[in-house]
Amino acid sequence: MSKAEEKALKIYPAERGHMHDRPYQREGFIVGYHQAEKDNELTWEDMRELYIIFAEVDTEIELCKADITAETIGYYQEVLKRFKERKEK
């Protein structure tokens, strides 16, 4: 059973003794789940954008324009924040 099917069954559990077991709701959930996974996949364009953002942040660190240290939690949080901002545009 796939992760989507497990979640669908948890949200729309089988009801004992009922002829109609809510298969349509589960199927709709599964389709929506797979679409959401697809929508959230990283593309090669996303990877290129991340590469550019990492280079920008590294440059800012080297020029003392950023108050963070490379390869720390704050560093990766900054890269992620910028990536999300650019994806929203």
Q: Is 4 exposed, middle or buried (0-12, 13-18, 19+ CB in 10 A)?
A: middle
Residue 15 φ/ψ, nearest 5 degrees: -105, 120
pLDDT, position 23: 79
pLDDT, position 8: 86
Confidence of residue 67 (pLDDT cuts 50, 70, 90): confident
For residues 58-72, average pLDDT: 91
For residues 64-86, average pLDDT: 93
DSSP codes of every residue in 6-60: HHHHHHS---TT-S---HHHHHHHHHHHHHHHHHTPPPHHHHHHHHHHHHHHHHH
Ordered by start, the domain boundaries in the chain are 3-13+21-39, 44-88
Which helix (H) or strand (E) segment holds residue 5: the answer is: helix 3-11
> Which tens digit of pLDDT belongs to each residue from 2-53?
888 888 888 888 776 555 567 788 889 899 988 998 888 999 999 999 999 9
